[in-house]
Amino acid sequence: MPPVFRFAPSPNGFLHLGHAYSALLNFDRARGTGGRLLLRIEDIDATRCRPEYEAAIYEDLAWLGIAWETPVRRQSEHLSDYRAALERLSELGLVYPAFESRAEIARLVTAREADGPWPRDPDGAPLYPGDAKSLSSGERTRLIASGAPYALRLDMAAACRRVDGLSWNELGEGPDGENGTVPARPEAWGDVILARKETPTSYHLSVVVDDALQGVSEIVRGQDLFHATAVHRLLQVLLVLPEPAYRHHALIRDEEGRKLSKSSRATGLRELRAAGATPASVRRLVGLG
Ligand code: GLU
């Protein structure tokens, strides 16, 4: 079976040099291995994703000389797949609703920090400090019936009790040079959000479901997602999905060493193209000349 690669941008802004690097690495690896390249549009966040950004993704990638298989999978069209996975995790007793708003969570963290630092996840966000896990089922039913918004969280401690010796095969490199068999520590993320009242999925859940459904065998993506791989491996094991290999790559940074953002105009592919860049000069800029 030929290896399967994917580039999976979110249409919440225009692509920049960092995306070009990731897309070209995937494309080159697919070419070099006789593999397949898929493009997936990660558009579950309806408040931030826009059709014009999606159209620009196709245009910019084609301009770069990248070819991908069609049809393109758009996550917003597959919510029932994510709902089914969420249902399986619920049946395992690993999902609970948490009703605190973002502001309430921030207040809870501040209160806990009076007694010393509150733990943070690998991205620097405080772990979920609430105690919704211990609400009685009657209380949950009452709150849901009242129309209160909620997030569905993974009971991380219970989930971790079901797995043993979790790791992944890193073909690239983590931010601290990790490679080979990397031990996965999903507990560092706390009770992550798997879905919300109005959206039956989250980044973690949909990426894991889609990579499995699409038969992705090697995931080439930026080092900013290196630590999230621990959560992805946990979900793969819980949902009995195949294990892909991972190849995390260094991030392209701006002159001040910051990670590129979708709003930094200087490195946007559209701006570069308007200023006379060619696909070959973009390759050189990202070190793939
Ligand atoms: N959609 C994610 C992003 O644009 C990438 C997901 C992934 O490669 O796992 O950052």
Note the pLDDT tens digit of each residue in 103-135: 999 999 999 999 999 999 999 999 999 999 999
pLDDT for the residue 254: 82
96 and 225 within one domain: yes
Backbone angles phi, psi at 259, to 5 degrees: -60, 140
Ligand 1 centroid to Cα of residue 49, in Å, is: 13
Among candidate residues 247, 263, 278, the one where a domain is terminated: 247
Provide the sign of the torsion angle of the four alpha carbons 120, 125, 127, 131, taken in this order: positive
Predicted confidence (pLDDT) at residue 95 exceeds the cutoff of 90: yes
Backbone angles phi, psi at 144, to 5 degrees: -65, -45
151 and 61 within one domain: no
Q: Which atom of ligand 1 is nearest to 6's Cα?
A: 8
243 and 134 within one domain: yes
24 and 69 within one domain: yes
pLDDT for the residue 277: 96
- For ligand 1, atom 7, name the residue with the nearest CA: 8
117 and 29 within one domain: no
Predicted confidence (pLDDT) at residue 286 exceeds the cutoff of 90: yes
Query: pTM of this prediction?
Result: 0.96
Average pLDDT over residues 227-249: 98
94 and 215 within one domain: yes
Among candidate residues 232, 247, 262, the one where a domain is terminated: 247
pLDDT for the residue 289: 81
Tokens 């971790």 belong to residue: 160
CATH code of the domain covering residue 45? 3.40.50.620
Ligand 1 centroid to Cα of residue 195, in Å, is: 17
CB environment 98-126: b (16+ within 10 A), e (fewer): bbbeeeebeebbeeeeeeeeeeebeeeeb
229 and 88 within one domain: yes
Backbone angles phi, psi at 45, to 5 degrees: -90, 90
CB environment 142-171: b (16+ within 10 A), e (fewer): ebeeeeeebbbbbbbeebbeeeeebebebe
213 and 112 within one domain: yes
Is the CB of 221 inside a 6 Å radius of any atom of ligand 1? yes
pLDDT for the residue 99: 98
Range of the domain at 55: 1-77+252-289
- For ligand 1, atom 2, name the residue with the nearest CA: 9
238 and 108 within one domain: yes
Provide the sign of the torsion angle of the four alpha carbons 248, 246, 263, 21, taken in this order: positive
pLDDT for the residue 125: 96
pLDDT for the residue 253: 87
240 and 129 within one domain: yes
Provide the domain count of the chain: 2
Give the angle 191-194-196 at the CA atoms, nearest 5°.
Answer: 110
130 and 101 within one domain: yes
Ligand 1 centroid to Cα of residue 114, in Å, is: 35
C-alpha 204/C-alpha 193 separation (Å) is 8
The percent of residues above 70 in pLDDT, for the chain, comes to 100
In the chain, the DSSP E strands lie at: 4-7, 36-41, 73-74, 95-98, 151-154, 167-170, 180-183, 193-196, 218-222, 245-249
Predicted confidence (pLDDT) at residue 68 exceeds the cutoff of 80: yes
Q: Which of 5, 209, 221, 249 for a ligand 1 pocket mutation test, highest count of atoms within 8 Å of Cβ?
A: 221
Q: Which atom of ligand 1 is nearest to 42's Cα?
A: 1
Averaged pLDDT score across all residues of the chain = 96
Ligand 1 centroid to Cα of residue 148, in Å, is: 30
Average pLDDT over residues 183-199: 97
125 and 27 within one domain: no
Average pLDDT over residues 141-145: 96
Greater confidence (264 vs 190) lies with 190
- For ligand 1, atom 9, name the residue with the nearest CA: 207
